[in-house]
Structure formats: structure tokens, C-alpha cells
Structure 1
């Protein structure tokens, strides 16, 4: 029997997808911030990819200076509110909290971070603004965490910035690809509107850049182009039967769920292929949508999964089952999905080997492929002199984000191959500084 009933309305959907990091009220924030030891060496700061001064903003919350706390957070990370909710704090800042050494619950840093930034957003606190105009222009392709963070930093340095986004909403995977129980669309879009109002960059929606002619137009009009394009669709498995109805990619499934909520159709018996964090999200979401049976199938053992332990625990907590050491061979069915044919595997010297004669079929009526995302190599091939590595990632200077075509800079998933929102935001801020360094030199 399903753990959740299939939602048929917005209230039912939101009940099934209740926030796992709910917003704190003022009393909760004051109590939680009072627990901080304000460590001299602050391991939580070192564990944060964006280097937020965590003890500082917690002290500010505790003394009633919530606006100051928001400023401290946003000075380090322009996606401060979103990251407070979607970051894997369990293995980053909270995972480094010294309370863990005493077997005491770590400080809820993520929720405190969201508390402070949410207040600033709702009260429209003017914390930042564009720097004095310097007469230079930068085009940003992609309105995800990398593109928006770069735009904010560039505006603070006085650049005129236009962001070109293929879809009709900003923030990339934060609004299209993060599980709804981590953050709501309303929260994401509120932060995006807040940042746009603070810094004054322009976002052009429904304007994909996909041809050499369009790139040439940008090259002629802007001093530099920043690539915040992220990754593409779910990788194909090249399996027989993959084209069958109800065999979908995890990224596409999550996007549909984020946009259509309870109108998203989910099978009664779902198999999710993969062992990463996206697989955990897709499995948990299918269960919360009322699927009676959800199975995570992974070709290696449970201990070899790429997903964080807490993500797997979250999936198990809503009734998801694990099927390990199996590799899909075929998606079976007559027009639509009726099952997955697997072969059992064994890991020998780090290599996955199939076990001869061990094939079996697991029945299902929906398959979700959480097998990684394709790189956007078709677009990148249109940029002269742009080099990619053997995995299709953009080759760029580690410090500045400058690519092998000096007028193009990048950060985020297109460069790192797929990481957290906080990584994209942090890298983009550094890349914006790299752009400033480059254009300052060329101006001289």
C-alpha cells in the first residue's frame, strides 16, 4: 500500500511535499542561534563552498540584527536563501559543526540562513546596488545559479548586464530541477525578483542562444560572454525499449513535477534507475505522488552509491525500496512500459561485471532514468577556440573562469560537470571577478 495518497489538488500536493527545512519563526531562530559556540576556527566556514561567515551571521541573528545577517550571507552567496534550503548542509556546514563530535544535534545553519534572507526579501531591504557604470557590457547565457550570480557581481562592479534565458522563468535547476519538498517555486522566484531589483540586470526570457549567428550577434554587442548554460537532458541509456511510453528522464520528470504539481502523472509501480542524489529525489517524489511501489535500482552495491546517505534515508522514509547489483538490459512492454529486464552484477577490483544467466524481469508501469545529464556540446561547438575536456566539460582557468576563447568565461555545471547550487554561485562570483580583471587589462 502506498505511503501517500495521490494528490488531486494544490493543498494535497503541498501536504505531500511539505518542506523538510520549514521556515523558522523568530523565537525558533533566537533559540537556535543561542546554541552557537562561535568557534575560533569555525570549521563550518571551511566546509561552505562560498565561505559564508557563519558564526558572524548567527551572532547577528541572536542580537536581533537580522538585516545584518542577510547582508553577511548575500555578500558571500547571492543564492543565500535558496542555498539555506537546497544545500546538502548535512555534509557541508552542519556536517562540520563541532557539536557532531559531542553527539549533539548540530546547529541548524541552513534554516537560520533562510530565516535571515527571507526576512530581507519580504521587507525588500536594499542591501546592495549596482556600482558606478564603467561603460562595458557583458552578456550572460543562462539564468541559473551561475548566470544570475555572475550578473549580480558584474553589476556591483559597474557592468551593464543582459541575461539570455531559454525558458520563461529564472534560476535554472533551482526552480526546474530541485525536489519540491526542498524549496517551493514561490520562494525561488521571490529571491530572483529580489536580486534583479537590487542589482538591475536585465533578463530576456524565452530567448535561447542556439546558433552561430546568435553568438556572433552577442560577440559584436558585448565585451565578454559568460556561459552559465548548465547541463542538457537526461543521458540516453541506449537500451532496447527505451522509447516506450512512460520511460522518462529524471530531470524531465522533476521539471514537470515542479511546474505542473498534482497534474503530473505517475505510475503505480515505478522503477528508478540510478544511485545519485537525483535518483533519490525522483524516487521520493514518485512515492509522494502516490505510487504504490517505488524501487531504486543500481548496478553497484548500496555502499557504492553516489548519493548522500541522508538523501537515501529520506527516500527510504517514504517507502522507497532498494535493488542493488543489477544492471538494466531492456525496457520491456507492448508500446508502454511493463517492466525492466535486469541482469545481476558483481563488483570485482572496482569493475562491474554481469553474472551470466542471472537475468530477470521486474514488473513496473513507469521507468525513471536518473543516469546523468548530457553536456551541451552542440552549442559549445559553435564557439571558436573553445576547448572541452574528454567528459565534455568546458576547460577554463580555475581561478578566473576564463575559457580557451578569451572572450568567453564560465562556471557552474557546464564547467564542473554537475555540482551543488552553492558551487555554481561561488564559482560564478569568482568568474565575474575574472571578467573584471580581464576587461580592466584590455582597457589599459
Structure 2
């Protein structure tokens, strides 16, 4: 466990094992062949497909759906992987309801889009179930690139570079690769150890070596990597979590939501995970929803998401918000934390009601206390340990087109880099595009 250790108000095993297994089963079960055919037949195969424009990796969505419709799912999978080598995970975790499916013509006409995400999973799963890798490596270039971070951006970058004939070494601080996909998403979104299976499949391209348990700034330095490699790509994500900055924030039971989610993802027995009766999650993004919903699924009796602005301002999609409320989570808006109360351990969280005044968020002076024996912070992360000499922008590594940083020979992408929207699919696109720029630069 990282920091979600048991406190006085939290106990493991609130629900029987069979119920826990049902609660954490696949949120969107895979389509069967007939279901995929029916879903594919709904596509209009638009010439100027708005769904394709809405996809950060620019997958040719009409083409791969037509390939499914013509009973060539392996070809469909390769169409997806050409643009997004982590298309299997993205099919599971992407907020398609605000990306490709929201742009679908069927959504505009009928309020029911083509199930692009589930069709993508159908096609990618078919390809990944085969013994062979869909791409071949180019002839060896003799170039060697270091990739820091084995998350979506780093993996995407490494695969594209390896495919072009370069040798790649990935350094990652954690014991297992995958980054956000392995440690940072709700367990019901990615089941059956899919994140590790995907990494193993991706590395079949060859030419990629993983150095796990090696953190930038501790075990390796940027200067050493620049000296030993022809290029460096930084994709290590964000390591620090924002604090509440209120009295009592350090009490037992006041925890980081990302650590709770990571503990849950790595657990082999959910009945051993402690959860409170009354859980409060502070924040309005996907991490807040994942922590809140999973608390309910572990057996918490009352779970509240507390957000400082209106529900329409929450970063979590409408689908995620509705999922939370369907699981029994209460969403309380226009409140900001002012104190965490309790004698050593969390017992209540005090909030002040807020209002928008002249475009600014202000407190109204009216307060409310919510009982809590667990309180999760989900108010964003910040870059930790950025190497000296790199220009920053908005607290992240500043990059230009192609992911170039202010330091020659160093590229960056994913959550640690400026721009983007902190989505897996965006990180994949940035890693891929940086790899193309690195290749062009190295090969003259």
C-alpha cells in the first residue's frame, strides 16, 4: 500500500468476494462477432468523417468500421494500430462520448452514436490475440534513443522508433511498465491484466529494452542520457499531487486519490483493501470519479464528490458523472474545503459554499460539514523533478511542434509536456509524433 493504509474508520472486506467480483467486472463487455456486425452496419462511412477529426490520433474510423462490416477485423485492427499502437487500451478508457462518438453523425441525428469505442476494441482484440505482431522492423539504423517513462506517451514513442529501425531503452521509475494504464485508471475499465498484456504485445516489435525501477534524477540523469544516446524522449508524466492547503489535511485517512487507485489496481484480493463507511472525494475530474465509484464498489455506504464549481464545469465527462450517480455517489457542487476535522484521523470535512462573482470564484461564508472516515484529494497533479535547463510553460515542460524541448536532442510528450488535455489517447499521439520528428532529425 502507498498511503491508503487502514485507519480507525476504515476496514477491508465490507462486501463478500462474489459481490466484489461482480462490481469490478468489465464496464463495457467485448462485442461478439454478430454484435460487431450489427454495430458496424450503423455507420454511414462519411466522406468527411467528423469522428476522425475528433480523434486525437486521427484513426481512419470509417475505414476500420467498413473493414469490420466486410468481415476483415484483422485489417481493421491494423488500420487502428497504424495511428494508435495503444488502440486496445484507448478503446477501453477513452472518453469516446466527448470525442469520436460525440462527433458521430448518428449522435447528431438520433442521439445514439455508432459504438466506435467497442468496435475498436473488437478489432484490436482480434489482432492482439494472434501470435504475430502486425508490423515489421525496418533495417537497423545504428541509432539509440532513451525514453523516460513507460506510460502511453513513452510506449507509443518507443514502438514507432523501434519500427523505424532504432534501438530504444525505456527507463521507468515504477516496477511495472504501463504508467497511467497500469496504475491510474479504474479497475473496471481495464480488466484481466490487460495493461501488461498490451505492453508485452507492443514490445514484440523488437528493439526495445525496459529498465524498470529507474527514476530520472535519482538513478539516471538527463545529462548522462544525452551523452549516451542519440536522442532522449521524456514521457514520465506528473509525479506530484496538489494538496488541499487547509488545516487537518495531514490527518490519517486524508489520502491522495491517485495512490488509492494505484493500490486498488495492484491488489490481487480486493477484500483486503480498507474502505470507509463515509468517503469524501474532493475534485471534479476523472480521477475523482474513479476514486468515488470504486469506493462505492468496495462497500462504502456514503460517497460524496465535492467540487468547487458547478457540475457543468467538472472535467469528468457527463457519462462519467452519470456513472457515478448511478453507482450511488452524491455529487455536491459549489463547495470548497476549508478544514479537515478529527482527533488524529478524519471524522468530518468542512466546506464553504462558493459562488461565481464577476468571473471569479468566491466563498459565501456559509459552511457545511460532511461526515468522513476517508477523504481523497483529487485536485490535480504537478510536474515533479523536471531536469534543470528545460524551459517550462504552465508548470510543464515547454514543447514545440513534434515535441521538441528547449534543449537540443531532447523531446517530450504526454502529461509532463505543455499542451494536450491529459488523456491517454493524446499522450499516444504526442509520443508517436515525437518519434517521427526524432527519426527525421536523426536521419538527416
TM-score (norm 2): 0.93
- Superposition map of 1:282-431 within 5 A: 282-356=291-365, 358-376=366-384, 378=385, 380-382=386-388, 385-389=389-393, 391-397=394-400, 399-416=401-418, 419-431=422-434
1:213 and 1:288 map into 2 onto residues whose CA distance is 40
1:213 and 1:76 map into 2 onto residues whose CA distance is 31
The question of whether the paired residues in 1 share the 8 Å contact of 2:235 and 2:413 is answered with: yes
Check 1:213–1:284 CA distance in 2 against 1; reply closer, same or farther (3 A cut): closer
Task: Say which is worse superposed, 78-87 or 190-199, in terms of deviation.
Answer: 190-199
The question of whether the paired residues in 2 share the 8 Å contact of 1:242 and 1:330 is answered with: yes
1:130 and 1:8 map into 2 onto residues whose CA distance is 49
1:126 and 1:115 map into 2 onto residues whose CA distance is 17
- CA shift, 1:198, in A, is 2.4
Check 1:277–1:32 CA distance in 2 against 1; reply closer, same or farther (3 A cut): same
1:6 and 1:406 map into 2 onto residues whose CA distance is 54
Check 1:138–1:228 CA distance in 2 against 1; reply closer, same or farther (3 A cut): same
Gaps of 5+ in 2: 1-12
Alignment-derived partner of residue 114 in structure 1 = 121
1:77 aligns with 2:90: no
The question of whether the paired residues in 2 share the 8 Å contact of 1:241 and 1:330 is answered with: yes
- Superposition map of 1:2-13 within 5 A: 6-9=14-17, 11-13=18-20
- CA shift, 1:214, in A, is 3.3
- CA shift, 1:185, in A, is 5.3
- Superposition map of 1:198-277 within 5 A: 198-211=205-218, 214-260=221-267, 262=270, 263-277=272-286
| Deviation readout 1:181-234 (Å, 9 max, x if unpaired) | 211251221111111012431111112222496333322210111101111132
2:83 and 2:340 map into 1 onto residues whose CA distance is 46
1:415 and 1:184 map into 2 onto residues whose CA distance is 29
| Deviation readout 1:29-53 (Å, 9 max, x if unpaired) | 1121122111111111011010001
- Secondary structure of 2:341's counterpart equals strand
Gaps of 5+ in 1: none
Task: Say which is worse superposed, 43-52 or 177-186, in terms of deviation.
Answer: 177-186
Check 1:25–1:157 CA distance in 2 against 1; reply closer, same or farther (3 A cut): same
1:154 aligns with 2:161: yes
1:130 aligns with 2:111: no
Task: Say which is worse superposed, 302-311 or 327-336, in terms of deviation.
Answer: 302-311
- Superposition map of 1:6-85 within 5 A: 6-9=14-17, 11-85=18-92
Alignment-derived partner of residue 186 in structure 1 = 193
- Secondary structure of 1:90's counterpart equals helix
- Secondary structure of 1:336's counterpart equals coil
Check 1:213–1:207 CA distance in 2 against 1; reply closer, same or farther (3 A cut): closer
Alignment-derived partner of residue 4 in structure 2 = none
1:217 and 1:305 map into 2 onto residues whose CA distance is 42
| Deviation readout 1:287-346 (Å, 9 max, x if unpaired) | 111110001111112222222111110100000112221111111101110011111211
- Superposition map of 1:139-178 within 5 A: 139-178=146-185
Alignment-derived partner of residue 439 in structure 2 = 436
| Deviation readout 1:402-426 (Å, 9 max, x if unpaired) | 1000111011000146511000001
- CA shift, 1:149, in A, is 0.2
- Secondary structure of 1:282's counterpart equals helix
1:65 and 1:6 map into 2 onto residues whose CA distance is 46
- Secondary structure of 1:355's counterpart equals strand
Instruction: Let me know the Cα RMSD of the aligned residues.
Output: 1.6
TM-score (norm 1): 0.93
- Secondary structure of 2:396's counterpart equals coil
2:64 and 2:15 map into 1 onto residues whose CA distance is 39
- Secondary structure of 2:349's counterpart equals strand
1:44 and 1:346 map into 2 onto residues whose CA distance is 36
1:416 and 1:99 map into 2 onto residues whose CA distance is 34
